[in-house]
């Protein structure tokens, strides 16, 4: 029996601005990465998203990013490893307050945007983040890109980690994600995306943008909760995984 976690970035609305279809998508996933107020979200949204995750039996994780609301946390910032550690700890603490208020457990951490990409390539930055997570709660699982420096840093620091793949993103020959600005970076054909995900889970391989087979570890599949077709794609990918006898299970139950 194959198994996989389905994760989605949620709780990214703030103030009068609604982003994504959280309440519809959350019923189709097993793990929610909840924004913590830096790149998106606010206290009301964080509270409601934790409450919603508990209602639907979805595992809760923190989704910390750069303090860049205007750029949605997708712009690089020149920070030290120590600064990376503290901004991640701060955001974990903020979300954990709402978890405690709702008597539910935080199970994982997944970085957001530019911070995710930078820590995926810079070992010292990644190690500082992992040590910061460990200092708060050594039981937390780091969710990070398969084959990245984050996975290596998690193992070096002794915390649990889970390798993530993306349903709708193209990969380079080295297993990294193709830059969003480049042509072909985002896979728009839903059927093709689903076929790729199933192959990643069952064969541990993905075809790169250059046509080469690249080894990959698919413990969790990331889907997106925003966009016009997000909900239909979430429904479709879950149905296809179940039809292929792939068990959908949140990370803390098996990683």
Question: Residue 126: which H helix or E strand, with range?
Answer: helix 123-136
As a whole number, mean pLDDT of residues 26-30 equals 97
User: Quick check: 229 pLDDT over 90?
Assistant: no
Q: How far, in whole angstroms, is CA 224 from its chain's centroid?
A: 10
Share of the chain above pLDDT 90, in %: 93
What 3 state SS string does 64-108 have? CCCCCCCCCCCCCCCCCHHHHHHHHHHHHHHHHHHHHHCCCCEEE
pLDDT tens-place string over residues 63-103:
999 999 999 999 999 999 999 999 999 999 999 999 999 99
CB contact at 8 A, 248 and 2: no
**Domain 2-253 adopts which CATH fold?**
TIM Barrel (3.20.20)
Q: Say how many Å lie between the first and final Cα of the chain, rounded.
A: 15
Give the other-Cβ count within 10 Å of 224's Cβ. Answer: 18
pLDDT confidence of residue 92? 99
| Phi, psi of 129, rounded to the nearest 5 degrees | -65, -45
pLDDT tens-place string over residues 151-210:
999 999 999 999 999 999 999 999 999 988 899 999 989 999 999 999 999 999 999 999
| Phi, psi of 245, rounded to the nearest 5 degrees | 60, 40
Sign of CA dihedral 202, 252, 45, 74: negative
Tell me the C-alpha distance between 59 and 37, whole Å.
19
User: Quick check: 32 pLDDT over 90?
Assistant: yes
CB contact at 8 A, 246 and 194: no
CA distances, 180 to each of 74, 185, 195 (Å): 11, 5, 21
User: Quick check: 224 pLDDT over 90?
Assistant: no
Domain ranges of the chain: 2-253
pLDDT tens-place string over residues 134-151:
999 999 999 999 999 999
As a whole number, mean pLDDT of residues 96-119 equals 98
């Amino acid at each position: 029996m194959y198994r996989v976690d389905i994760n989605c970035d949620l709780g990214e609305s703030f103030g009068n601005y609604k982003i994504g279809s959280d309440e519809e998508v959350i019923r189709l996933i097993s793990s929610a990465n909840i924004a913590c107020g830096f790149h998106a979200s606010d206290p009301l949204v964080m509270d409601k998203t934790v409450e919603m995750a508990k209602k639907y039996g979805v595992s809760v994780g923190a989704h910390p990013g750069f303090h860049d609301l205007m750029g949605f946390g997708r712009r690089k910032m020149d920070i030290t490893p120590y600064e990376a550690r503290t901004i991640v700890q701060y955001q974990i603490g903020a979300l954990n307050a709402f978890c405690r208020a709702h008597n539910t457990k935080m199970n994982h951490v997944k970085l957001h945007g530019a911070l995710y990409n930078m820590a995926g390539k810079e070992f010292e930055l990644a190690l500082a983040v992992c040590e910061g997570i460990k200092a708060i709660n050594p039981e937390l699982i780091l969710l990070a890109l398969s084959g990245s420096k984050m996975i290596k840093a998690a193992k070096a620091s002794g915390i649990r980690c889970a390798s993530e793949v993306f349903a709708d993103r193209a990969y380079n020959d080295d297993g990294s994600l193709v830059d969003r600005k480049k042509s072909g970076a985002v896979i728009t054909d839903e059927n093709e995306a689903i076929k790729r995900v199933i192959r990643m889970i069952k064969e541990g391989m993905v075809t790169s943008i250059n046509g080469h087979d690249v080894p990959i570890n698919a413990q969790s599949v990331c889907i997106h909760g925003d966009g016009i077709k997000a909900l239909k794609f979430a429904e479709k990918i879950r149905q296809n995984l179940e039809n292929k006898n792939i068990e959908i299970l949140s990370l803390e139950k098996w990683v």
